[in-house]
């Protein structure tokens, strides 16, 4: 049964670097699961972020799996990978909303429970990275509120099934569940 880790916190709080270090400290084949859609040249800032993430993994024997929507498939098919680092669930949720604007909290929660079940059926370690977006003001429009609400439901479902949950603030980890 895989060990499941959830890392959450605000943007630029240190989640990705910390989880990459965890993954690189573990033996075996590792893969980075990128949920970000490939940025276009019209979005040079996002392109720069992607390149920075790629450079951070350079030389550390990472495979990259690009999957915007079907994380279940990744968990089912990549059984030869000991460590899966899925970064990040909030971009994945954005992709799901774009594909299906009517997705409900119950539907997303069911998908997240399936992700946990599939993770538990694996060996090795599965690390999920997500943003905590619910600490701010109530968004002014319905799609932003939906994104915030779905993110919160996803984070709760993954945290419930995870073995470890780490919250990041100011680059520091706070262990919520260990």
Q: How long a stretch of residues is the chain?
A: 178
CATH number of 27's domain: 3.40.50.300
pLDDT band, residue 47 (cuts 50/70/90): low
Specify the range with the lowest mean pLDDT, choosing from 6-10, 45-49, 165-169, 172-176. Answer: 45-49
Average pLDDT over residues 73-89: 97
Query: Any residues with CB less than 8 A from the CB of 19 and at least 6 apart, and which?
Result: 5, 7, 85, 87, 127, 129
- Please state, in angstroms and as integers, the Cα–Cα distance from residue 116 to each residue in 91, 130, 146, following that order: 18, 15, 22
38 DSSP assignment: P
Q: Is residue 22 within 8 Å of 86, Cβ to Cβ?
A: no
Q: Which residue has the tokens 């949720």?
A: 93
pLDDT at 59: 66
Average pLDDT over residues 67-90: 97
What six digits make up the tokens of 131? 């943003």
Residue 163 belongs to domain spanning = 3-177
Exactly one of 37, 46, 50, 53 is catalytic; name it: 53
Give dist(CA 58, CA 74) in Å, integer.
22
Give dist(CA 156, CA 59) in Å, integer.
34
pLDDT at 56: 67
The dihedral built from the CA positions of residue 21, 23, 25 and 30, taken in this order, carries a sign that is negative
Q: Is residue 26 within 8 Å of 83, Cβ to Cβ?
A: yes
Residue-wise pLDDT tens digits, 154-176: 999 999 999 999 999 999 999 99
In the three-class reduction of DSSP (H, G, I as helix; E, B as strand; rest coil), residue 166 is classed as: strand
pLDDT at 96: 97
Give dist(CA 151, CA 144) in Å, integer.
11
pLDDT at 93: 98
User: Is the pLDDT at 37 greater than 90, yes or no?
Assistant: no
Specify whether 53 is catalytic: yes
How many beta carbons lie within 10 A of that of residue 42, not counting itself? 7
Helix (H) or strand (E) holding 113: helix 105-120
Number of domains composing the chain? 1
What six digits make up the tokens of 49? 């972020």
Tell me which residue of 155, 36, 42, 35 sits closest to 84, measured CA to CA. 35
């Amino acid at each position: 049964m895989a060990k499941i880790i959830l890392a959450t916190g605000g943007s630029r709080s240190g989640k990705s670097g910390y989880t990459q270090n965890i993954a690189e400290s573990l033996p075996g084949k590792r893969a980075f699961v990128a949920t970000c859609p490939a940025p276009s040249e019209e979005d040079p800032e996002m392109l720069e972020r992607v390149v920075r993430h790629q450079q951070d993994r350079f030389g550390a024997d990472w495979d990259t799996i690009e999957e915007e929507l079907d994380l279940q498939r990744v968990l089912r098919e990549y059984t030869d990978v000991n460590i899966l680092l899925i970064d990040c669930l909030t971009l994945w949720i954005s992709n799901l909303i774009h594909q299906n604007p009517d997705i409900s909290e119950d539907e997303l929660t069911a998908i997240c429970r399936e992700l946990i079940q599939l993770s538990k059926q694996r060996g090795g370690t599965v690390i999920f990275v997500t943003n905590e977006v619910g600490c701010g003001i109530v968004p002014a429009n319905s799609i932003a509120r939906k994104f915030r609400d779905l993110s919160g439901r996803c984070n709760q479902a993954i945290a419930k099934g995870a073995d470890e949950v780490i919250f990041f603030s100011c680059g520091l980890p706070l262990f919520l569940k260990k």
